[in-house]
Amino acid sequence: MTFREDVADLAKRAISAQAVAQTEEATKNAIVMPFLRVLGFDVFDPAQIIPEYVADVGLKKGEKIDYAAKIGDRIEYLVEAKSVSTNLRDAQYSQLFRYFHTSDANIGILTNGLHIWFFTDLDAPNKMDQTPFFKFNLLDYDDNDLHELEKFHKDKFSIENIKAAASTLKYLRGAMSFIEAQWTSPDEEFVRMVARGIYEGKLTTTVVDTFKPIVRRAFDDLFRQRAKARLDVAFDGDAESALEAVDEDKIDTTPDELQGFMIVRAIAAEVAPVSRVVMRDAQSYCAVLFDDNNRKPIIRLHFSGKQKFITTFEAGKEGVRHDLAGIEEIFAHKERVTTVVRSYLA
């Protein structure tokens, strides 16, 4: 199997494990050890993977880290695992932080099986950064994420390449956060920078306050124009009607989600009035519902800048994931869409 196929298989395993692997040990067995296998390690070879790795830290004796991964004769990764139900934002990983400082490891990995966070020492040598430089979500990834993850494969490992990429990812993440913050609520310095390029008068406090809503509107309009341009290609110039079909307040709705919604509508139109097929956006996915009823899901679109996939439904049954190479592959699931719509008409 290729690396892509290995990761896709691991993602399917993770989806199944969510409901049952609630303890830390269960998570290790169901997802974390298979993840290390995906990275090219023989998890049963102590020359490669050392479980319950002990490294005394100062006065603390006998503390253990879940796994130490060796490449050649050197420990390169320290892995701390949490249960699948743990939110990594709230997780305590002081052992990983302490062990990183006292060992020769270059990479610290914190995971709950679904989310995998990678740390290194960009800010200070031999001191693990507080913030991960790379996050991989097994349920939501794209080709760029796969490319970055593959750098951690045992056979491709190069700490020089990883640290170079880590530095780029760190600043890219910072730039995206800054732009997003300015889009939501531009600060005075940013507004002044924009205003200086288009306003010839003196930038008084009153003028800056006047420009703040203009800058916010400019972000929104620019996004809308770019979305319309992409949709014009997809819908033969009729993008405006597609945009109007979505509540203006749902600014997180992407052009890909709109395109996916229109494809589902087109399929469903064969068996039901399109007015009964409604989009309802959410933070992690975009739902397409029958009669705008959460109990009547037709499909879910997972297109949030990561691996594109859909979840299809049968009436009264749990959803099934299908990975997509392109949005147009939704048409391959025409029978599933029409079948569930017919069930809601019955």
What are the residue boundaries of the structural domains of the chain, listed by start?
3-173, 188-234, 249-345
Q: How confident is the model at residue 181 (pLDDT cuts 50, 70, 90)?
A: confident
Angle of CA points 217, 249, 246, to nearest 5°: 115
Looking at residue 238, its pLDDT comes to 54
| Cβ contacts of 65 within 8 Å, gap of 6 or more | 52, 53, 55, 78, 79, 80, 95, 96, 99
Could you report the per-residue pLDDT of 1-26, keeping only the tens digit for each? Answer: 789 899 988 988 887 777 677 788 88
Q: What is the pLDDT of residues 214-245, one digit of tens each?
A: 888 888 778 777 766 655 554 555 555 555 55
The predicted structure's pLDDT at residue 42: 95
Lowest-confidence segment of 117-131, 223-237, 329-343 by average pLDDT: 223-237
Rg (CA), the chain: 24
Are 188 and 208 in contact by the 8 Å Cβ rule? The answer is: yes
Mean pLDDT of the chain: 83
DSSP-derived secondary structure letter, 32 = I
- Provide CATH code, domain 3-173: 3.90.1570.30
Measure the CA–CA gap between 325 and 232, rounded to whole angstroms.
21
pTM (2 d.p.): 0.58
